[in-house]
Structure 1
Amino acid sequence: MRLYDTATRSVREFVPLREDEVSIYHCGLTVQASPHLGHIRKEVVFDVLRRWLQHKGFTVKVVANVTDIDDKILQKSAENGEDWFALAYRFERELHDAYASLGCIPPTYEPRATGHVPEMLELTQQLIDAGHAYVAPDGSGDVYFDVMSWPRYGELSGMKVDEMEPAADADPRGKRDPRDFALWKGHKQGEPETASWPSPWGRGRPGWHLECSAMAGKYLGDTFDIHGGGIDLRFPHHENELAQSAAAGRGFARYWMHNAWVTMAGEKMSKSLGNTALVSEVTKAYDPRAVRFFLLSPHYRSTIEFSPADEETRGSLAEAEKAITRIDTFVRRAAEFTDAGRAAAVPTDNPHYAAFAAAMDDDLGTPAAVAALFEAIRAGNQALASGDRKATLSQFLAVSSMLDVLGLDPGAPEWAHGASGDDLTPVVDGLVGALLEQRSAARAAKDWAAADAIRDTLAGLGLKITDTPDGAKWSLEN
């Protein structure tokens, strides 16, 4: 399997630290507002990666943090007249609802920043002792990473120090260099006392970058396989994580993966810009499985354009819903025809599955993988039409395996909780089935006009009727 490594800017063969286990850390949200599609794309991308690695036989350990203490959280909670921890918890629960609504498997563990202050203090002291951090001399209690003390700074982003803008996370008066970034922020007048912890440098709270380094190290060790997140985190967040971890003597991440943005009108989807599409709203307007399909179909390093006012986007989501219907129609019909169980072995000799696997092994190439999925569905529909049970079974098992990897299997437990809204499939099946029974009765009575009228009505709705020895079957026209 090959993955594009942001650090080396190349596609590299992925070889995990351990033969049978892969460790992944990806940065979770700062829970200061409701999650939008830009946030949740990362969850979908790394959910597909996890599923593919598990499909290949690896045990996958996924740690994704929650940043529940931050300048913006304090600011917004003060504006709302709400306790900062209550606001953070409210939006944390919305995050969980959002990724569950799109069928994402929860992380192996999801640590909160506020629960790991001791580990952050320890890492900060290690950096001070190593000469890579210093306590601000202005009595503020701030502690900064000394960028100029670390010659490798900029290796992840490819930027040179003299090209970087100064960090904007603290008053520059206590810094040796304006590009130094905060490891620890001294408690300020007017901030809630509950938003600070005791430290050797006075009461305060951790800096954003410090949080992830400490939590990744605690749960995945000094060195782990993959660190990921949105491309907007590459600099400064991931650059700073790498610098402080490596300066403390940790190997840290061996591979770096970053997914591209979801944009609106060509701009990054952002809470601060106000151009967001909330997951909770989009999944009311569209089938959540179609929204997931919309997010995973492009390559993870390709930008996705989304806008409620954009006819092209609305068309893409509508097409995604049609794609889901095509998938479900084939799965239902093939399962009925073959009496196949989903526990059967993966058909590695199936050419469409082989194409799918090759695409997934090539830097998580979902566009080609999705194309292979629909080639298998097309071949399966042809096998159904000809009554070839063996060929139908092969395509059914191939499609089932692909859907499991993509997180789109309609029978999977993650879709059973009802997050996708009211499932109309049984209703549609019942209505179409009743009409087909009427058509069968009309044919038996040689009332050809009535039988043809029912067939034409269903055809006008985009349904194809196939008469088989086991009775009439219906499917969507391809």
Structure 2
Amino acid sequence: MHAWPASEVPALPGKGRDLRIHDTATGGPVTLDPGPVARIYVCGITPYDATHMGHAATYNAFDLVQRVWLDTKRQVHYVQNVTDVDDPLLERANRDGQDWTELAERETSLFREDMTALRMLPPQHYIGAVEAIPGIVPLVERLRDAGAAYELDGDVYFSVESDPHFGGVSHLDAEAMRLLSAERGGDPERPGKKNPLDPMLWMAAREGEPRWDGRSLGPGRPGWHIECVAIALDHLGMGFDVQGGGSDLAFPHHEMGASHAHALTGEHPYAKAYVHAGMVALHGEKMSKSKGNLVFVSALRRQGVDPAAIRLTLLAHHYRSDWEWTDAVLDEAVERLARWRAAVSRPDGPPADALVEEVRAALADDLDAPAALRAVDRWAALQERGGGTDEGAPGVVSRTVDALLGVAL
């Protein structure tokens, strides 16, 4: 599966700072010190109802991670998946009378267009769950043969008790896990499971549903968590730098994925840091497909909203915060974009070297994009008052905003 075209990232003078970021697993900040190649895996969309603002906020956060690393003169090895077969996708296709493969391809294509418009840097490997199935089946067989998985009426479940580190990502108690499991795709009430929290690795073929050759597992399709693990281990290996996604993925998805990897490899940790973006609300409730309270990037683009203004709306909120989309926050971003573009269009301005370092420092401190925006606001305000005669300053500011914030002025 192909990703989307990359926008050019301008090179800035000097060198950026190492990223200090909040790690869900430790509950506090960690300073990441990757080698020459930083490795990141971000969980992708289930391709229906793409791309809503919750998606955009999540991928904006991890785009900033990439930009900070690139500014430290590292290479970035970024992997993202597409969950292009899953219960919610099949349910939506059935509801709307569509072929599920056509729905997945259409929404994935729309997602690519939106990511391109928002100037999100693409992954080096963009992998669909379906194309990963030949690599998933052997992993499920290995887990079963090692005693870390078991069969139940033809389905194969992972035993969470096989991983001594289980619970180390989300740090939730058993009851909270059970409730979230039921809410987020698990089946804790199914009779016969060894532990209510055990997640499915391989679902035996159901009537009227897609199926693939599972070798000794029989025909069926993979569970949600093992898909990402297979892709991440194949392209990044154990101990990669950042596992990323929305905060609703900490449990069960990232917790279960880590346990699958620990049981498969005997190594720990799966990822050095687990980084989670906050949720975006509309009308007082988290944006969700089930509630239908979604604001779509593509719809805003069709209305003539500049994608740079959409991106500035996202950047105005700290990536870990939960916030609400309103017309007012978009209007503020449109006004900010106009001020910045007017400021950099002048032939000279206040010196910008300090601004570059302010933006670098803000982003290195747990991706504090709102602080970075305020720094640019201050420079633009000085520019409006005629605060300098540095002919190169507007270009430096424009390149800084482009390279580190992904906004083209």
Match for 2:372 among 369, 374, 396?
369
Q: Answer yes or no: is 1:90 the counterpart of 2:99.
A: no
Give the Cα separation in 2 of the matches to 1:52 and 1:163: 35
Give the Cα separation in 2 of the matches to 1:298 and 1:82: 37
Aligned residues: 382
5+ long unaligned stretches in structure 1 = 307-312, 339-346, 411-478
The corresponding residue for 2:324 is 305
Which structure: larger Rg? 1
Please give the TM-score of this superposition, normalised by the length of structure 2.
0.88
Report the Cα offset of residue 82 of structure 1.
2.5
The answer on whether the counterparts of 1:297 and 1:370 sit within 8 Å (CA) in structure 2 is yes
Q: Answer yes or no: is 1:265 the counterpart of 2:278.
A: no
Q: Answer yes or no: is 1:180 the counterpart of 2:198.
A: yes
Please give the TM-score of this superposition, normalised by the length of structure 1.
0.76
- Measured against aligned partners, the alpha-carbon deviations of 1:204-246 in whole angstroms (never above 9, x if no partner) come to 0000111000001111112211110000111111111111111
The corresponding residue for 2:29 is 11
Aligned pairs (5 A) from 1:189-228 = 189-192=207-210, 195-228=211-244
Report the Cα offset of residue 174 of structure 1.
4.3
The answer on whether the counterparts of 2:344 and 2:397 sit within 8 Å (CA) in structure 1 is no
Amino acid at match of 2:314: L
Match for 1:106 among 102, 122, 143?
122
The answer on whether the counterparts of 1:350 and 1:395 sit within 8 Å (CA) in structure 2 is no
Give the Cα separation in 1 of the matches to 2:147 and 2:174: 19
Amino acid at match of 1:188: R
Amino acid at match of 1:221: G
Report the Cα offset of residue 146 of structure 1.
0.9
* Structure 1 SS opposite 2:272: strand
The percent of aligned pairs where both chains have the same amino acid is 36
Aligned pairs (5 A) from 1:205-354 = 205-249=221-265, 250=267, 251-285=269-303, 286-306=305-325, 313-334=326-347, 337=348, 350-354=353-357
Amino acid at match of 2:377: F
Q: Give the direction of change, closer, same or farther, for the CA distance of 1:78–1:398 in structure 2 (3 Å limit).
A: closer
Give the Cα separation in 2 of the matches to 1:56 and 1:151: 36
The answer on whether the counterparts of 1:154 and 1:161 sit within 8 Å (CA) in structure 2 is no
Give the Cα separation in 2 of the matches to 1:274 and 1:232: 17
Amino acid at match of 2:94: A
* Structure 1 SS opposite 2:85: coil
Match for 1:143 among 122, 131, 156?
156
Match for 1:120 among 121, 125, 136?
136
Aligned pairs (5 A) from 1:34-73 = 34-73=50-89
Give the Cα separation in 1 of the matches to 2:286 and 2:176: 22
Give the Cα separation in 1 of the matches to 2:26 and 2:363: 21
The answer on whether the counterparts of 2:177 and 2:252 sit within 8 Å (CA) in structure 1 is no
Amino acid at match of 2:198: D
Amino acid at match of 1:403: D
Give the Cα separation in 1 of the matches to 2:319 and 2:51: 19
* Structure 2 SS opposite 1:333: coil
Report the Cα offset of residue 396 of structure 1.
3.9
- Measured against aligned partners, the alpha-carbon deviations of 1:138-179 in whole angstroms (never above 9, x if no partner) come to 3xx210011233332211111133542164445823422222
Give the Cα separation in 2 of the matches to 1:34 and 1:197: 29
The answer on whether the counterparts of 2:177 and 2:251 sit within 8 Å (CA) in structure 1 is no
Quote the RMSD (CA, aligned, Å). 2.0
Give the Cα separation in 2 of the matches to 1:15 and 1:35: 32
* Structure 2 SS opposite 1:277: coil
Amino acid at match of 1:304: W
Report the Cα offset of residue 40 of structure 1.
1.3
The corresponding residue for 1:414 is none
* Structure 1 SS opposite 2:203: strand
